[in-house]
């Protein structure tokens, strides 16, 4: 009798249950999935068809599909406009700050919270850090306006008490725009973003820490040599997805913080789209700019995913 070698043996394949059987056994899970599917179909995918406006001279009378084609006219107009370089520069600056500079702060907070052994104090601290995430940008900017107001604001009063002028209008000064935006964004999102990293840290094998303690490793060494390498996959995936928003600065925060004094830095692609689209009625032109943001974001995600997969074996797909 002929014996097949292990190399020539076919791998064992797990047979999947028929879809009808799976629907019967796991119907509650599929029912819970329906709202998610409906959301993505009607809110995410159907509006993609509206990108055709970027190539049409939109007319209310003719409608989207009946309007005349204009080709790449809006793209040429934008890239040849006076504001193009300034808008892209401001958007990249804000996007770099949000996607790159702010990214490590949530990881550091998660590592610090993981080292707290008093569970009551840990829960209170975690709750305090992620509560600002649920406040709207309107509320946060209103608080900033009160805190940073000249003469009457808390910060200016503190400066006056220390012998300073106390009349600085921080929100009207472009020199303080990035600092204010950075501090506002960190305070609002650091706690919420750290939840994902805390969940990843909770899955690290405790035996690794015990072995490190036997070898005499300090807490910092355990963080650097055990915790961070074990959550490398989560860090890589979130970073890749975050890079896709490099040309998306966020509309609400920038629009609310924008003043005549800091407009030279606060004018980004997101605010410009709203300005020319909703306020100016140039729907095709605004759609073209939004399409540029989407295409660039897609290219960045695909590129970073390939680089990450090649160098670290961490990728989205």
pLDDT of amino acid 1:
41
Q: CA 292, CA 54: separation in Å to the nearest integer?
A: 10
Within 10 Å of residue 78's Cβ, how many Cβ atoms? Answer: 20
pLDDT of amino acid 207:
87
Topology of the domain comprising 60-312: MetI-like fold (1.10.3720)
Within 10 Å of residue 218's Cβ, how many Cβ atoms? Answer: 10
How far is residue 86 from each of residues 124, 266, 297, measured CA to CA in Å? 43, 10, 19
What are the strands, taking DSSP E only, across the chain?
A: 56-59, 67-69
pLDDT of amino acid 13:
55
Q: CA 294, CA 244: separation in Å to the nearest integer?
A: 8
pLDDT of amino acid 14:
54
Q: CA 300, CA 242: separation in Å to the nearest integer?
A: 10
* % residues pLDDT > 70 (the chain): 95
Query: Counting beta carbons within 10 angstroms of the beta carbon of residue 204, is it exposed (0 to 12), middle (13 to 18) or buried (19 or more)?
Result: middle
Q: Which long-range contacts (CB under 8 A, 24 or more apart) does 215-223 make?
A: 219/115, 223/111
* Residue extent(s) of CATH 1.10.3720.10 domains in the chain: 60-312
Does the pTM surpass 0.75? The reply is yes
How far is residue 7 from each of residues 2, 12, 46, 86, 127, measured CA to CA in Å? 15, 13, 49, 61, 55
Residue 93 and residue 246 in contact, taking contact as beta carbons nearer than 8 Å: no
Block means of pLDDT (10 residues each) for the chain, 317 residues, are 46 65 86 92 89 89 87 92 91 90 92 89 90 91 91 90 87 91 92 90 87 85 88 87 82 89 90 88 90 89 86 77
pLDDT of amino acid 65:
86
Residue located via tokens 């410009």: 272
How far is residue 152 from each of residues 30, 86, 155, 177, measured CA to CA in Å? 56, 34, 9, 20
């Amino acid at each position: 009798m002929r014996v097949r070698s292990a190399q020539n043996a076919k791998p064992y394949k797990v047979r999947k249950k028929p879809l009808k059987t799976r629907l019967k056994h796991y119907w509650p899970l599929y029912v819970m999935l329906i709202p998610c599917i409906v959301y993505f179909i009607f809110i995410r995918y159907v509006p993609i068809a509206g990108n055709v406006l970027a190539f049409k001279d939109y007319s209310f009378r003719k409608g989207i599909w009946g309007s005349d084609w204009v080709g790449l006219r809006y793209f040429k107009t934008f890239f040849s406009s006076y504001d193009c370089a300034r808008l892209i520069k401001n958007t990249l600056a804000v996007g770099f700050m949000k996607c790159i500079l702010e990214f490590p702060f949530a990881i550091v907070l998660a590592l610090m919270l993981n080292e707290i052994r008093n569970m009551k104090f840990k829960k209170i601290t975690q709750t305090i850090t992620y509560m600002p995430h649920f406040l709207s940008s309107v509320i946060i900017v209103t608080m900033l306006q009160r805190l940073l107001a000249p003469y009457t604001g808390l910060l200016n009063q503190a400066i006056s008490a220390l012998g300073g002028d106390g009349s600085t209008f921080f929100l009207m000064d472009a020199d303080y725009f990035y600092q204010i935006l950075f501090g506002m964004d960190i305070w609002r999102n650091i706690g919420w973003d750290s939840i994902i990293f805390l969940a990843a840290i909770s899955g690290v094998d405790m035996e690794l820490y015990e072995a490190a303690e036997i070898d005499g490793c300090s807490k910092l060494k355990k963080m650097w040599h055990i915790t961070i390498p074990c959550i490398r996959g989560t860090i890589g995936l979130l970073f890749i997805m975050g890079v896709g928003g490099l040309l998306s600065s966020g509309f609400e925060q920038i629009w609310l913080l924008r003043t005549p004094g800091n407009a030279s830095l606060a004018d980004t692609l997101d605010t410009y789209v709203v300005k020319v689209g909703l306020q100016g009625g140039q729907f095709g032109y605004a759609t073209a700019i939004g399409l540029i943001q989407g295409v660039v974001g897609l290219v960045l995600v695909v590129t970073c995913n390939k680089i990450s997969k090649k160098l670290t074996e961490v990728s989205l797909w």
